[in-house]
Amino acid sequence: MRWPAALALATLLATQGARAEGLRDPQLQALADAHKLVELEQAATTRLAAHPDDGPAWLAYLESVVGRNVPDAAARRDAALAKFEACVQKTPQVAACHYGVGAVTAINILAQGIMKAAFGVGKVRDEFAKALELDPAFAPARAGLVQYYLMVPGIVGGSVAKASEIAQAESARAAEYGKLLTAMVQLYRTKLADAERLLASVQPGGDLELAVELRGQWNALGLALLQDRQAAKARELFERMVHERPEQPGPHYSLARALSELQQWDAALAELKLAESLPGHENFPIDYRVGVALQGKGDTTQARAAYKRYLGSVNPNPQNVEDIKKRLAELG
């Protein structure tokens, strides 16, 4: 089982809909949480012009690039990668720049397909490791490194044992982070009850990075429950997330997925409508899920229309496209 997790290999920021990184800065974090990514990029760029070694600003710039599903997303990533690599050359002591190189490289690899780009993944590992060497408390890099070892095929360096080793070592340095990383490993192993117990025990306090990562892992657990045919339990988890973060489209979208699995089509459509009304909704394949729910209801005309809207959207997910083609063929 391989996990495309949530800033995912690289946090794996944007493959299941962007989730903001913990930015170590309340003002930047507020912009990221509100999905005001144009403003976030402007704020980051202004700060970096004055202070090129501003780590939180580099993380904000990263989020502003990879968190936007726009037609020129690939070109924006390439431009960002060049900036992070230049930062590494000019100010090699900035952990966030090494992390940025690793994160953008990881996302580019995912876009190509992990096997097609398998022999380039070592750069991701090396840059995450360097970020941790410079800043042992840099949580996104440590989480990214664990994801790396879990996701990458063993033939090119993947290792569940290594991921577990990192999680255990982190427990000695920072107990709350250690529990979260161990939960990530347990999710990979499909030990869902153990993962849930660990996540429930994490106390982020005022730590922005840990709080954001924790939300991402709760979402990952919910998706794992769906895969494990525990849709009712996933629904309860996502309902809690909606209650906690009603202004975010992600929880509504995830709840809609659980409701669809339970064939509660109208409720699923209502959640998708809510998700679509919120900033950041463009990062989620809402029309695809609307089509699935409408098809489940038997409304084939509207289902076809939703599928066609998704096929014409920005950067549609290839797996979703293939599924839609099959569904349209079934509809005749």
pLDDT digits (tens, 9 = 90+) for 179-218: 999 999 999 999 999 999 999 999 999 888 788 889 999 9
- CB 286: neighbour CB atoms within 10 A? 24
The single residue listed with the structure tokens 């509504």 is 252
Residue 168 has a pLDDT of 92
Per-residue pLDDT of 38-75, as tens digits, reads 999 999 999 999 999 999 999 999 999 988 888 888 89
Angle at 296 between CA 291 and CA 300, to 5 degrees: 60
Distance CA 276, CA 156 (A): 39
Distance CA 282, CA 6 (A): 16
- Domain limits of the chain? 1-210
The single residue listed with the structure tokens 């657990």 is 221
Percentage of the chain exceeding pLDDT 90:
67
Calculate helix-pair angle for 55-66, 73-90, nearest 10 degrees: 160
Position 285 pLDDT exceeds 60: yes
Residue 16 has a pLDDT of 34
Which positions ≥6 away from 267 have C-beta within 8 Å?
259
324's tokens: 């839609």
pTM of the model: 0.85
CATH class of this structure's domain 1-210: mainly alpha
Q: Which residue type, as a one-letter code, is found at position 50?
A: A
Query: For all residues of the chain together, what is the average pLDDT?
Result: 88
**What's the alpha-carbon Rg for the chain, to the nearest Å?**
19
Angle at 196 between CA 193 and CA 197, to 5 degrees: 85
Residue 248 has a pLDDT of 92
Position 2 pLDDT exceeds 60: no
